Chain A
Amino acid sequence: MDNGTNSSSNSFNSSSNGTFEGVPPPQPTKSFWTNLLLPALYLIIVAASLYTFSSTYRKRQLAKTAKLEPWFPHHRQRDIYLSLLHLDPSEQASSGDGDSEKKLSRVPDSVLKAALLQRALEDIKRIVQLRQAKPALQTLLQRGSVGDELWQRLLRAEQEMEAEVKDVVNEANAFAPEWGQVIFQSANEMNQNLLIKQRMAEIQDTLESEKAWWDKKRAVIQSDFMKELEEADGKPAEEAKAADAAPVANKKNGSSDDDAVIVEAGGPAQAQGGSGKGKKKGKK
């Protein structure tokens, strides 16, 4: 009997150990959570600091690039084009004619196309400038003569340029199908023609000064020659003076005298010219 009760009480005890029903579970020891607290706190602090650092750093970079001075001056042609696009001429007070037919409801397409072409032309000029500047700036940067900021400005200008080009192509396609591809070819040719005209104008400008120089020199040669013709035997002093009076720009006369002589002075002077020249050479 006792064994039975013992075993039953034992089994009771053991069964009660198994289920935990009537008894509230013992608290997990506080030290478990406090143990977990420190690493968790550490992780939270690390994550928070990384996040703040990255966001502040990115904001600062953005601010720096925004503060970067633009590479090119203001794009005038772009402003003209966009202003025309948004212009509403019906708002303008008509000066003379009150005819409603003459009032434009919007700026005509042809004007816009011309403005877009001008914009493309300016873009081409800028692209050429950028392409020339880039390798030079790279070399300078490698040698360490310039800071990084200039390079950043150049890169930014290139990015803006690409966006601008895409914009122009889209606008061109809006006016006429496939004009987008052609417009930059046309603008390129326009640029080349402009350069040709400028170069020709430069060279032709030198014409005036060249003509003046040559006329002066020819006058001097002629006067020298006339003097030599007057004196039959050619006095040394006067020849020396004539030799010194030659133009200050110390270009040698050499054979040119022969031609000038033959053309200007005519036949009989030739023989005398030859003798006069021989004497002149003696003095040099």
Chain B
Amino acid sequence: MDDKIFSKEEWEKALEGLKDSHRIFVPVKEGDYHTFARLSEENRPDFDFQNTRLSPKSLILPQSERMFDYSLDEKSEEAHILKEATKESSPQVIVGLRPCDALAIQLVNINFDNPEYRDPWWVRGIESTTSVGLGCNEPCATCFCSSTGGGPFNEKGLDVLLYDLGDNFFVRSLSPKGESLLEKVQGGKSADGSAKEEAEKLSASALEKITSKVPTDQLRGKNVNALFDAPFWDEVAFSCINCGTCTYLCPTCWCFDIQDEVLGKEGDRLRNWDSCMFPLFTYHGSGHNPREKKVQRVRQRFMHKLKYYVDKYETGVACVGCGRCVQHCPVNIDIREVFELANGL
């Protein structure tokens, strides 16, 4: 499909036109930050942002998700039988996600959809989603995506990529899903050569604006035990308060916990995001906790991203350099510094 040009008003109208057949999620401004919300009368898209405070991962892996429901009513024939909870699986479109977050979904996908395991809800979420990315004209000082296999206009994991040319969006389809979405979209015109050139220039200049760089390819060869026993973990962990900020904001953290909630004779089985930073995460029924100490938990988070994932899947680190944890860790534990420490070992 040819690249297209939409004026920004036209594009917003085009999204409105899709609203009946698709669930459309867009960045909206909430207080001082942006977050993804379903397009509606109240939730108006605002594409003037660097990145959303929370990543779009919750649109595929919700923070709390009902998996099953069941009855504990002994009189019912269906007592104690788990039934899959009904869930929305109509087509959804995420519009305006950043290339790092799209890449993150690909990294998480390796965990949820592989020859050994297929998580049905994740897979359905991925199948029903079309991702329309928005390239980053102005990367943040904390963005280091070009060090983690991405870049401000990286196409991986995206079905469509938008280039913000000021008054217009340059719209490029990247996959059959993208094509079929754009076929349904009203308006726009074919992009001419000069628009293409402008888009390419934008992408090149954005890449140059990435100032934060850290080598992430040196960990593959390192000895896992040496890294595990490295002397710097105590220092890294000292200030950590073991909150869930880094893991909940991170687009590549996927851990969840399963809980039953019962009211009277009706029960739900839920999965909720969980965090390796919480002591409860590894707390055994016996009362033993293999990661009892803060330093063990901090080490786990970094070892998983920098080493275990790298060794297991051989596709690079489990971090896309979005910088959310760098910006929002309440005590300023900076993963870029941890990369440096690990590289230096």
Task: Indicate whether A and B interact.
Answer: no
Binding site for B on A (CB under 8 A): none
